[in-house]
Chain A
Amino acid sequence: MKVAVYWGCKIPTAQYGYEMSVRQVFPYFDIELVDLKGASCCGGPVRSINIPAAMYLSARNLALASQTGLDDLLVPCNECHFMLSEAKCRIGDDEEMHRKVEELLKEEGLQYPSKVKIWHVVDLLHDKVTIDAVKTNVKKPLKGLKFAVHPGCQIIRPSEIGRVDNAENPRKLDALVKALGAETVDYSEKLDCCGAALLNSHKDAALSLAGSKLKAVQACSVDGLVDTCPYCHIMYDAKQKEAADTVGGKLSLSVLYYTQLLGLALGIEKEKLGLHLNQSFNLENSKFK
């Protein structure tokens, strides 16, 4: 099947490991990704400045997705997934907003409503591809490895707009990791926020949030932390050393995108999954052979 894909801003401008691994893994499940042409920011950072402008940005990307003629849209970034889902809900119910957005989109020759179904990596694999299909494709089971998963905030909340997993007890990412032959741990900080939204305005607080969670994960004696959001990943991977300095103590935890872990289990080479770009991933000391 063909699925349109909206990358947002963080992934295509810096988080290349996520983009590479997403592009690598989906063909294994007969999913062909179709890039949107002329996509813009989802409106996430604009929401604080001007809510209608943020809605317009999301609506525009949804309209671009409809233009492909495909029924499904993959949005691998948690923040973008929230914004697009929220906009779809609001524009569907709020007639005034609907009219406003339609008028604006017309100027670019675009059309709303958008009927596309919005997917994230987690539910596309868990619900559509199915756990069984993931298991069947595993060539190198990750036996003996144990991970903590970080679902992130914005794909599980708020549940009223329809989210990827349960808001208070998300299990899908655990199930996806277990499908690869690895184990996952339950830990009480699982729902804690990475702090990324505060990184540019309240750096110490942001690093402290990330550092506290990483410390808690490290105390579980896991082989790594698995995430699915470019914002969370920056905090836990690239900012890990700074986070350790902020909270005190040492942190040495391999942090990977789920699609990178999946890629390893599918037998894809590390370079193709962008694993050399993960700052925290320690190939020499790790059990990832």
Chain B
Amino acid sequence: MSLTDLMTMVKSNKGLQKRILSKLWNVHPDECFQCLRCTSGCTSLKLLELKPHEIMLLVNSGFIEELVSSDIIWTCASCLKCRERCPQKASPYDTIMALRNLAVEREAKVPETYMKMLAQILETGLMQQVQTVTSREMQPFNRETLGLPKIQYPDDKFKAVFMTVLGG
């Protein structure tokens, strides 16, 4: 029997819950006992209202769909404090990463910036293009004028392999 949220009549989805767990390695969300150590030290609690223990509770109750389509999973600052401090090795950080992966698979709301970086990696191997920077005196500089060696980018073979990895 699955849980039903009586306020919204949303049913829990055990299939999606399994999908999340299958993406994780060496962490155990189902062992979370709601001690709130994660939330009490969360970088994004105050400004973005991220409460990692609530995410864990929703995952463990099977309300995955709601999380995957919510902006809240994109507010994690990746500071890794929750992963470090969790006494149960439940790691909200890793759970949130798995939820983000599922959001991408289901083409839910994904911040544009992630897809832009991915496109850039496919193009050059690096997440951003090489930039011209300005000094405090507003003089432009680049790798060449700073005497830095040329970047040795990966070749097309890398791009082909990376494409297949992304394809599944």
Partners in one complex: yes
Query: Which A residues form the contact surface with B (CB < 8 A)?
Result: 9-10, 12-14, 16, 19-20, 23, 35-41, 44-53, 56-57, 60, 82, 90, 93-94, 97, 104, 107-108, 153-154, 157-159, 167, 191-193, 195, 197-198, 200-202, 204-206, 208-209, 274, 276-279, 281
Would B158 and A277 count as touching, CB distance under 8 A?
Answer: no
Query: Which of B146, B155, B157 is the most central at the interface, judged by chain A CB atoms within 10 Å of its CB?
Result: B146
CB within 8 Å of A: which B57-109 residues: 74-81, 83-84, 97-98, 100-101, 104
Residue B161, interface by CB 8 Å = yes
Residue of B nearest to A193 (CB): B79
Complex Cα distance, B162 from A14, in Å, reads 24
Query: Contacts of A56 on B, CB cut-off 8 Å?
Result: 161-162, 165
8 CB < 8 A contacts A-B: A16-B141, A16-B146, A45-B117, A51-B98, A157-B81, A195-B77, A198-B48, A277-B133
Q: A-B pairs with the 7 shortest C-beta distances?
A: A200-B113, A40-B125, A193-B79, A157-B80, A201-B111, A205-B47, A38-B154
Would A12 and B143 count as touching, CB distance under 8 A?
Answer: yes
Residue B152, interface by CB 8 Å = yes
Residue of A nearest to B135 (CB): A276
Complex Cα distance, B24 from A97, in Å, reads 12
Complex Cα distance, B132 from A14, in Å, reads 7
Select which of A53, A205, A274, A279 is within 8 A of B146 by beta carbon: A274
B79 to chain A, nearest CB (A): 4
Would B131 and A13 count as touching, CB distance under 8 A?
Answer: yes
Would B129 and A200 count as touching, CB distance under 8 A?
Answer: no
Complex Cα distance, B161 from A37, in Å, reads 17
Not counting A36-B152, A202-B48, a sample of 9 additional A-B residue pairs whose C-beta atoms are within 8 angstroms of each other reads A48-B100, A49-B101, A57-B162, A108-B161, A201-B111, A202-B74, A205-B75, A209-B77, A281-B136
Would A46 and B118 count as touching, CB distance under 8 A?
Answer: yes
Given A16-B143, A41-B127, residue A195 in contact with residue B165 (CB < 8 A): no
Query: Which of B23, B161, B165 is the most central at the interface, judged by chain A CB atoms within 10 Å of its CB?
Result: B165
Complex Cα distance, B153 from A167, in Å, reads 34
Query: Which B residues form the contact surface with A (CB < 8 A)?
Result: 23, 25-26, 43-44, 47-48, 74-81, 83-84, 97-98, 100-101, 104, 110-111, 113-115, 117-118, 121, 125-131, 133, 135-137, 139, 141, 143, 146-149, 151-155, 157-158, 160-162, 164-166
Query: Contacts of B79 on A, CB cut-off 8 Å?
Result: 153, 157, 193, 197
Would A53 and B162 count as touching, CB distance under 8 A?
Answer: yes
Query: Contacts of B114 on A, CB cut-off 8 Å?
Result: 45, 48-49
Complex Cα distance, B135 from A279, in Å, reads 7
Query: Contacts of B135 on A, CB cut-off 8 Å?
Result: 276-277
Would A38 and B125 count as touching, CB distance under 8 A?
Answer: yes
Would B149 and A35 count as touching, CB distance under 8 A?
Answer: yes
A90 to chain B, nearest CB (A): 6
B69 to chain A, nearest CB (A): 15
Complex Cα distance, B154 from A37, in Å, reads 7
Given A45-B118, A167-B84, residue A197 in contact with residue B137 (CB < 8 A): no
Residue of B nearest to A274 (CB): B146
Query: Contacts of A279 on B, CB cut-off 8 Å?
Result: 136
Complex Cα distance, B25 from A97, in Å, reads 10
Would A158 and B130 count as touching, CB distance under 8 A?
Answer: no
B78 to chain A, nearest CB (A): 4
Would A90 and B26 count as touching, CB distance under 8 A?
Answer: yes
Given A35-B149, A104-B161, residue A49 in contact with residue B118 (CB < 8 A): yes
Query: Which of B25, B26, B76 is the most central at the interface, judged by chain A CB atoms within 10 Å of its CB?
Result: B25
Would B84 and A159 count as touching, CB distance under 8 A?
Answer: yes
Complex Cα distance, B152 from A12, in Å, reads 10
Query: Which of A41, A153, A205, A277 is the most central at the interface, judged by chain B CB atoms within 10 Å of its CB?
Result: A41
Query: Contacts of A35 on B, CB cut-off 8 Å?
Result: 149, 152
Complex Cα distance, B149 from A200, in Å, reads 29
Would A14 and B25 count as touching, CB distance under 8 A?
Answer: no
A177 to chain B, nearest CB (A): 23
Query: Which of B79, B111, B143 is the most central at the interface, judged by chain A CB atoms within 10 Å of its CB?
Result: B79
